[in-house]
């Protein structure tokens, strides 16, 4: 599932390329979307939020396999086919376009989603502001509210596993499976530990590397270990620089031991048992 760095990459690219453009229509048709101008695009946790004219909000969640693409498509037999050559046509993960927003621009906005779990919803602003699934989201890692005091507080008040805590969207918004594994490796803390067993120094190490790992991933345009692609259909680069994620059985980059793999809360977890205690 795309996480904070992947979603932020998409948001940044959309702001550069479609902010100020108008949605002429969508296929399949979305009620009230016609002729809405895109005023701004922002992220909340793993949600993409398009602020539109007339006080409308287009809310998109990529879920497991979704990503947004900029290009041109034609429909044949109820299937969207890319018109131009390149990654939209050549990369199979870009060939599951389910929805297209036609813009007054040189390209349109397509939503590719292999497993069809992604969500596209249109709300009036006042409706959006009352959405429980948005309002219950936790603090953003890059916000001023994400202080060490806050982080220490949520750790002290929970008995759950530390990796599961990092992925709890009602506590910290945007971190998922990939970056929770990477953060704990960089902090030298085992993902098998309970959160309330951590020392003050261990908590500080985790807190300090959260922003560092996420920023590095944003700089590298996200991780395309699976389906995620950028808006032009190309891969991000983080998977080429990961410390442990996806490196099961390979040599640890720090101690030369072996990266191990376990499941925590039904999610695959990568770690080095020698480096992480």
Active site residues: 2-3, 46, 267
Which class for 77: exposed (0-12), middle (13-18), buried (19 or more C-beta within 10 A)? Answer: exposed
Within 13 A of 206's CA, how many CA atoms are on the CB side?
A: 31
Please enumerate, as own/partner, the contacts of 198-203 that have beta carbons within 8 Å and a separation of 24 or more: 198/155, 198/162, 200/152, 203/148, 203/151, 203/152, 203/155
Place of tokens 């390329």: 17
3-state secondary structure of 27: strand
CA-nearest of 39, 56, 60 to 127 is 56
Report the C-alpha gap between 136 and 133 in whole angstroms.
6
3-state secondary structure of 277: coil
Give me the sign of the Cα torsion angle 181, 46, 223, 225.
positive
Q: What would the two tokens of residue 94 be?
A: 């870009």
CA-nearest of 20, 43, 15 to 103 is 20
3-state secondary structure of 39: strand
3-state secondary structure of 125: helix
Q: What would the two tokens of residue 67 be?
A: 């990503």
């Amino acid at each position: 599932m795309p996480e904070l760095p992947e979603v932020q990459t998409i948001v940044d690219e959309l702001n550069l390329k479609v902010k100020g453009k108008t949605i002429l229509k969508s296929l399949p048709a979305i009620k009230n979307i016609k002729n809405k101008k895109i005023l701004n695009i922002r992220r909340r946790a793993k949600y993409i939020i398009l602020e539109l004219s007339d006080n409308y909000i287009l809310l998109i969640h990529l879920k497991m396999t979704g990503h947004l693409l900029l290009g041109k498509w034609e429909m044949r037999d109820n299937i969207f086919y890319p018109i131009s050559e390149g990654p939209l046509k050549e990369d199979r993960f870009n060939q599951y376009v389910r929805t297209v927003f036609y813009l007054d621009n040189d390209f349109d906005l397509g939503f590719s989603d292999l497993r069809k779990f992604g969500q596209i919803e249109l709300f009036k602003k006042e409706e959006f502001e009352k959405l429980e699934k948005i309002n219950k989201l936790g603090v953003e890692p890059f916000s001023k509210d994400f202080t060490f005091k806050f982080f220490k507080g949520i750790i002290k008040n929970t008995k759950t596993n530390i990796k599961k805590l990092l992925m709890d969207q009602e506590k910290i918004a945007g971190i998922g499976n990939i970056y929770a594994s990477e953060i704990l490796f960089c902090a030298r803390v085992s993902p098998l530990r309970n959160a309330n067993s951590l020392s003050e120094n261990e908590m500080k190490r985790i807190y300090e590397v959260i922003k560092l790992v996420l920023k590095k991933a944003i700089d590298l345009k996200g991780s395309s270990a699976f389906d995620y692609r950028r808006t032009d259909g190309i891969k991000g680069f983080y998977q080429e620089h990961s410390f442990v994620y996806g490196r099961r059985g390979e040599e640890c980059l720090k101690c030369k031991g072996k990266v191990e793999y376990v499941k925590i809360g039904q999610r695959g977890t990568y770690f080095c048992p020698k480096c992480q205690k």
